[in-house]
Structure 1
Amino acid sequence: MSTVQKLLRYAVLCLLTLTGFLLSAWGALALGYHLQWPAAMVYGLIGIWCLFGCVLLVLLWRRRAGLALLGYLVSFGLLAVWWGSLEPSNQRVWADDVAKMASGRVAGSRLTLDNVRNFDWRSDQDYQVAWETRDYDLDRLASVDLVTSYWGMPAIAHILVSFGFEDGRFLTFSVEVRKEKGEAYSEIGGFFKQFELSIVATDERDALRVRTNVRGEEAYLYRLDLPRSAMRALLLAYVEQANALIERPRFYNTVTANCTTIVFDMMQSIVGGLPMDYRLLLTGYLPGYAMDNGGLQPGYPLDELRRLGHFTARARASGQALDFSWRIRRGVPGW
């Protein structure tokens, strides 16, 4: 065997080894996040799975590549069948804040939304539950705001979209994980079908106050520069997506089905031509993406829009004021 052939064989073995390692790690995590067995049994099965993967790697390097590849095909084929059998459901014991699903219907210019959340939050564990049916006049839709809320890293933010009407009311949509009672959010779990997807329609005081005043997040508001036709289309797209989730539940995914990608898909269908960009994943930088694509108020640099749109202090000072939405918009360009 020539030197070139040896190097090529070594490179192929290294590539297959890396692939096998990644697939084994993915399988171990998938089993760990989904098996509802006693912990000892789950860890035991994961240990067997990892040991089997190591055996296959030994066979691969000992010139038994055919046997190793057959082992991988069989084992991951079985895992893929099990993985494909996992189906999302709307029938679970849900956490209170996602217990009901928004749905809407349109008659002429009148939008009726059921299950609009309007909680009075005192803490994450202490709140007054309220779900309401509300009517909105689509002909009086006046504004759309992008809200980014940060709880840690500057690159990651939760994205909310708030619709304002000429009667002074604001309706906020948030794409969230639909957690079960007692369940905690996990970014890694979001890759492994741990959560269903939820589109929550809320009164703006509920959606924003809970983040700034209860959870201590830092939030920013940017008024979007959209024609009324696009505003209306985006609102109706949210309603359509919410209705679809009632009929066909979906899994949340940290990368492909989250608070940003769902909105991006809706806007893409409305205006078209939006480019893919790393800021669709690093959601904390989404306002920069919106500016680059002509979506924010013209005439201001991004840093100025961010500074003027930082409403956390105004939200905390407003407390439970009925004009909360107007107070947090003081000084925001476009308002």
Structure 2
Amino acid sequence: MNRVARKTRHIPARLLIGFTVLLLTSWGALALWFQASQHSVVRWVVILVWSALGVSVVLSLAGLFGRRRRNITGFVFVLATACLLLWWGTLRPSHQRAWADDVAQLLEARVEGNHVHLKHVRNFEWRSETDYTPRWESRTYDLDHLRSADLVLSYWMGPHIAHTLVSFGFDGGERVVFSLEIRKERHESFSAVGGFFRQFEQVLVAADERDIVRTRSNTRGEDVYLYRLQMSQANVRALFLEYLLAANELQRTPRFYNTLTSNCTTIVFELARLIAPALPMDYRLLLSGHFAEYVYDLHGLTPGHRYAELQARGHINERALDSDASGDDFSMSIRQGVPGIPINEIHP
């Protein structure tokens, strides 16, 4: 085999290695960016050195360096990667940080017979995203009076990405909403990319609808949709209790939020799968804006309607804004015209 043929034979392997190195270099640079001190010059130096090392490996694979230099560069990159992964493994989630006000408290749940006692239910009065009155409450619910579960999707970044919440309704109009969210610190703001790199911990928020739903529709101007879930009373109760178990587990053991694998939509799927293990995986679990359509295809929404009709009639924004102007009950107002909602839930 001549020299040209030998070089040609190694091209696919070098392309694969080069692509892998580029991926590792990009991942490492982002990990360092989101985890190192934001005001540290050292962060910039480390990122530049790491990136330069990765680029050098790719250039050496392209034949721009001699064999000896290529081997040395490759060895140093492997060593640096090992150090980076060891450092990554030392990162641990914590409950002890200077948290933002709206995620400052962890939900605590205690079940005594048919009664559920919740501590740290959020019921803020939001005038704007930065102007609010904090209020954390202790509430007691009777499981014998638990009647319904509603799926709420709030679109904040186009038609494919939505925040997923589940609202549970009780006789007499009581409601509590569960939402898995990032637990950001006071100086932080949400970053979908940062959510891949352990920038945030998780928090499971239990809140009043006027807090957690109204702030999205009325204060932030997000498009919010509400759907009645078709579940047996036993499954509604089981899903509610699974949320409480998840809250208590999170209180005992802090966990990182992950934009892809551990977010507001995947927790709903995971909890529902404990009740119905045969639930299929689907791309719409990642593209959360289509999660309601996924539930519809599984016959989990009100029957007898096309999905487009359920979506159109479930859009709550106009009714939510009108309730502010009229002073009507928020939860009743947003359910006007939503298929599957009994008349006694929308009229006092």
TM-score (norm 1): 0.96
**2:210 corresponding residue in structure 1:** 205
1:148, 1:220 within 8 Å by CA — same for their partners in 2? Answer: yes
Distance in 2, matches of 1:56 and 1:299, equals 60
Contact residue 146 and residue 237 of structure 2 kept, 8 A: yes
Counterpart of 1:154 in 2: which secondary structure? Answer: coil
Q: Deviations over 1:134-187 (max 9, x none)?
A: 000111110000000112310011111000001211100111000111311001
Q: Answer yes or no: is 1:309 the counterpart of 2:309.
A: no
The question of whether the paired residues in 1 share the 8 Å contact of 2:161 and 2:287 is answered with yes
Q: Secondary structure at the match of 1:260?
A: helix
Equivalent-residue separation in structure 2 for 1:106 and 1:95 (angstroms): 28
Alignment of 1:11-30 (within 5 A): 11-30=12-31
User: Cα–Cα, structure 1 residues 292 and 74, in superposed 2: closer, same or farther, change >3 Å?
Assistant: same
C-alpha contact (below 8 Å) 1:56/1:71 kept by paired residues:
no
- Report the Cα offset of residue 205 of structure 1: 1.2
Contact 2:257 2:263 in 1 (8 A): yes
Q: Secondary structure at the match of 2:141?
A: strand
Deviation at 1:5, TM superposition (A): 5.9
Structure 2: distance between partners of 1:154 and 1:192? 24
Match in the other structure for 1:38:
39
Contact 2:156–2:223 at 8 Å: present in 1 too?
Answer: yes
CA distance in structure 2 between the partners assigned to 1:140 and 1:331 by the alignment: 24
1:75 aligned onto 2:80? yes
Aligned to 1:333: 339
CA-CA distance at 1:199 after TM superposition: 0.5
SS at match of 1:136: strand
> Is the 2:53–2:73 Cα contact (8 Å) retained in structure 1?
no
The 3 A distance-change label for structure 1 pair 123 and 4 is same
Contact in 1 for aligned 2:53/2:77 (Cα 8 Å): no
Counterpart in the other structure of 1:94: 99
Cα offset, 1:39, TM superposition: 4.1
Q: 1:271 corresponds to which letter in structure 2? A: A
Amino acid in structure 1 at the alignment position of 2:86: V
Paired residue for 2:344?
none
Matched, 1:225 2:226: no
Q: Distance in 2 between matches of 1:39 and 1:298?
A: 57
> Which among 245, 248, 259 is matched to residue 243 of structure 1?
248
Q: CA deviation at 1:322?
A: 6.0
Distance 2:201 2:280 in 1: 27
Distance 1:123 1:36 in 2: 30
Give the counterpart letter for 2:309 in structure 1. E
Give the share of equivalent positions with the same residue, in percent: 47
Which residue among 108, 113, 116 is the counterpart of 2:113?
108
Cα deviation, residue 55, structure 1: 2.3
**Map of 2:345 onto structure 1:** none
Q: Contact 1:57–1:68 at 8 Å: present in 2 too?
A: no
Q: Give the 3 Å change call, closer, same or farther, for CA 54–267 of structure 1 in structure 2.
A: same
Residue 120 in structure 1 maps to residue 121 in structure 2: no
How far is the alpha carbon of 1:56 from its aligned partner? 2.3
Q: CA deviation at 1:326?
A: 0.8
Output the CA distance in 2 between the equivalents of 1:201 and 1:167.
19
- Aligned residue number for residue 10 of structure 1: 11
Aligned equivalents of 1:331, 1:110: Cα separation in 2: 32
Q: Distance in 1 between matches of 2:173 and 2:329?
A: 9
Contact 1:60 1:68 in 2 (8 A): no
CA contact (8 A) 1:150 1:217 kept: yes
CA RMSD between the two structures: 1.6
Question: Shift of the alpha carbon at 1:69?
Answer: 4.3
Unaligned runs of 5+ in 1: none
- Taking the aligned partners of 2:170 and 2:328, their CA distance within structure 1 comes to 16
